[in-house]
């Protein structure tokens, strides 16, 4: 099937089959990526030690901040491309592809330079202690040197999905994960390069996958392909990319702020091992949440295309299926985490104290986990249709508006447990804010469609 036919199917093929077609590769890719993160942390915890796990936890804000800039370009451009393909505006879609490449290179380079210059002060600000700073610094030095590669890799994968190639996007991630695992075993286990070896494995595998992505986009037979004349930045295209990408940017940047604050709160009320427990609990959350990310990535080209083509019935059907599927998946995650928290914690460490802290934290963190899926899907839905202000508000509500004040206030009464309980409380409260906004939009859409019929 050629690329143009695959793109046109976004407006004709049954929505349920389309969502399976697009979400399954994304789910497989995201799950594989999440499993790699577990294997990576398990190797570091078992081979290097529990302090290294805590040091790796300090790097989460850095990774989130880098992902924030990458998402601003990757998600913003892929959404714009989906809408333009729905409008049959193929020339603009190609220029969006070229501008995606240029923006990723520029932003990736600037981020690397600034962060390398101020690496130690930034890590201290993120919550690094004298014990965890060396581990965090060794890891981030390598990751930052390969930052442009990381930005390009994730950006090109987002465009592959928007261009009707979800399987190719999945293959790129699966290759990266598989190669990553092989290289982690080689660098950390055999060569004993420690936490630096894990970072080297990440960048090396992403570099290899990026070469394959660029090869695909170099094929002139593709509807979207790289060619001369599309790389010069156009102000209107950049504005469109950033205006839509600002929502996922703020979501990831907010995650960065939250993790910085939470790391400091965990250090304050529980010490370095509490940061390690938080790192383990986060890894467990992401295993299951990656399924939801896969669903939102799968729905993005479907919703964007049909919104651009004014096929609102198909757009809303995709939304309903996505919400139901995400909720069902997180119910499974909630059940597993409630029943087997200690067994999960033992995957990462043999330290008895860290296992106890992690098992306790996993149960609290996952307390109302099943409500998070609908909030994530609805937030992504507003982003896909260009409702930037609503998407930004919902992106900020769960963490910045709810979690930050709760994580500050509750520990004053419940100490370390107060830090843990702030997370499920904010999850539930943000979900209660999201549903009314969706109902408001659906009523407004219904009224507008009726008025168009009578014009």
**126-139: per-residue pLDDT in tens?**
778 888 888 889 99
C-alpha–C-alpha distance, residues 295 and 378, integer Å: 11
Residues ≥6 apart with Cβ < 8 Å to 213: 153, 156, 157, 160, 172
CA distance 250 to 254: 6
How do the pLDDT tens digits run along the chain, 455 residues long?
445 555 667 777 888 888 888 888 778 777 776 666 677 777 777 777 777 777 777 787 777 677 778 777 888 888 888 778 878 888 888 899 899 999 999 999 999 999 999 999 988 887 788 888 888 899 999 999 998 998 888 888 888 877 778 788 888 888 988 898 899 889 988 888 888 888 899 899 999 999 999 999 888 877 778 888 898 999 889 988 888 888 778 777 777 788 788 988 998 999 888 988 998 898 888 888 888 988 998 898 889 888 878 888 899 999 999 999 999 999 999 999 999 999 999 988 888 999 999 999 999 999 999 999 999 999 989 988 878 788 888 877 777 888 999 999 999 999 999 999 999 999 999 899 898 999 998 888 876 765 554 44
Separation of alpha carbons 158 and 172, rounded Å: 11
Q: Which residue has the tokens 């409380």?
A: 425
Q: How far apart are CA 379 and CA 375, in angstroms?
A: 6
pLDDT of residue 254: 76
C-alpha 244/C-alpha 386 separation (Å) is 6
Measured CA to CA, the distance from residue 176 to residue 454 in angstroms comes to 53
Q: Which of 281, 304, 288, 280 is nearest to 383 (CA)?
A: 304
Token reading at 439: 């109902």
Query: Are the C-beta atoms of residues 20 and 164 closer than 8 Å to each other?
Result: no
CA count, 13 A, side-chain hemisphere, 123: 25
Q: 394 is written with which tokens?
A: 């919902």
Cβ atoms 168, 181 nearer than 8 A: no
What's phi and psi for 271, nearest 5 deg? 85, -175
Q: Quick one: tokens of 352?
A: 């008895």
Q: In terms of Cα–Cα distance, which of 281, 321, 428 is closest to 369?
A: 428
* Structural tokens at position 81: 């491309």
Q: pTM of the entire structure?
A: 0.69
CA distance 451 to 455: 6
Taking a C-beta distance cutoff of 8 angstroms, is the pair 97, 78 a contact? Answer: no
* C-alpha dihedral, 116 to 122 to 128 to 129, nearest 10°: 90
For the chain, how far is it from start to end, CA to CA, in angstroms? 40
Q: Is 268 exposed, middle or buried (0-12, 13-18, 19+ CB in 10 A)?
A: middle
Beta strand spans in 183-323 (E): none
pLDDT 10s digits, 260-289: 889 889 989 998 889 889 988 988 888 888
The CA-atom distances, in angstroms, between 170 and each of 24, 194, 398, 427 are 9, 29, 29, 29
**Of the candidates 171, 151, 153, which has an alpha carbon nearest to the alpha carbon of residue 214?**
153
pLDDT of residue 329: 93
DSSP reduced 3-state for 105? helix
Report the pLDDT value the prediction gives residue 366, as an integer from 0 to 100. 94
The structure tokens 């609102």 sit at 312
**CA-CA distances (angstroms) from residue 435 to 127, 325, 382, 431?**
35, 16, 12, 7
Closest CA to 288 of 343, 336, 249, 256: 336
Which residue is listed with tokens 């796990």? 53
């Amino acid at each position: 099937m050629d690329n143009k036919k695959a793109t046109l199917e976004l407006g004709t093929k049954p929505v349920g089959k389309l969502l399976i077609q697009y979400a399954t590769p994304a789910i497989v890719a995201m799950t594989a990526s999440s499993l790699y993160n577990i294997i990576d942390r398990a190797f570091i915890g078992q081979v290097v030690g529990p302090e290294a796990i805590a040091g790796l936890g300090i790097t989460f804000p850095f990774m989130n901040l880098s992902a924030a800039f990458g998402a601003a370009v990757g998600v913003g451009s892929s959404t714009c491309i989906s809408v333009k393909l729905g409008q049959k505006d193929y020339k603009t879609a190609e220029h969006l592809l070229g501008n995606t490449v240029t923006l990723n290179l520029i932003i990736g380079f600037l981020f690397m330079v600034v962060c390398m210059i101020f690496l130690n002060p930034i890590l201290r600000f993120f919550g690094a202690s004298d014990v965890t700073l060396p581990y965090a610094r060794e890891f981030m030095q390598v990751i930052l040197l390969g930052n442009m590669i990381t930005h390009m890799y994730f950006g090109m994968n987002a465009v592959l999905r928007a261009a009707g190639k979800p399987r190719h996007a999945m293959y790129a991630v699966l290759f990266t994960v598989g190669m990553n695992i092989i290289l982690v075993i080689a660098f950390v286990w055999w060569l004993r390069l420690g936490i630096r070896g894990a970072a080297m494995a990440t960048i090396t595998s992403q570099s290899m996958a990026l070469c394959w992505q660029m090869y695909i986009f170099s094929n002139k037979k593709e509807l979207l392909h790289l060619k001369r004349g599309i790389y010069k930045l156009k102000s209107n295209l950049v504005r469109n990319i950033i205006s839509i990408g600002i929502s996922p940017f703020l979501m990831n940047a907010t995650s960065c702020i939250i993790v910085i604050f939470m790391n400091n709160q965990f250090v304050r009320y529980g010490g370095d091992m509490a940061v390690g427990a938080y790192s383990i609990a986060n890894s467990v959350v992401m295993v299951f949440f990656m399924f939801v990310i896969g669903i939102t990535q799968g729905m993005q080209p479907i919703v964007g295309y049909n919104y651009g083509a004014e096929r609102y019935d198909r757009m809303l059907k995709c939304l309903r299926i996505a919400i139901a599927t995400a909720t069902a998946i997180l119910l499974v995650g909630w059940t597993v985490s409630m029943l087997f928290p200690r067994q999960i914690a033992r995957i990462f460490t043999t330290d008895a104290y860290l296992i106890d802290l992690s098992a306790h934290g996993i149960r609290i963190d996952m307390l109302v986990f099943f409500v998070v899926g609908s909030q994530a899907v609805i937030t992504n839905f507003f982003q896909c249709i260009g409702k930037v202000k609503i998407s930004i508000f919902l992106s900020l509500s769960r963490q910045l508006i709810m979690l930050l004040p709760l994580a500050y206030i509750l520990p004053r009464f419940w100490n370390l447990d107060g830090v843990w309980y702030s997370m499920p409380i904010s999850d539930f409260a943000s979900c209660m804010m999201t549903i009314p906004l969706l109902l408001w939009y659906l009523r407004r859409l219904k009224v507008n469609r009726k008025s168009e019929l009578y014009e």
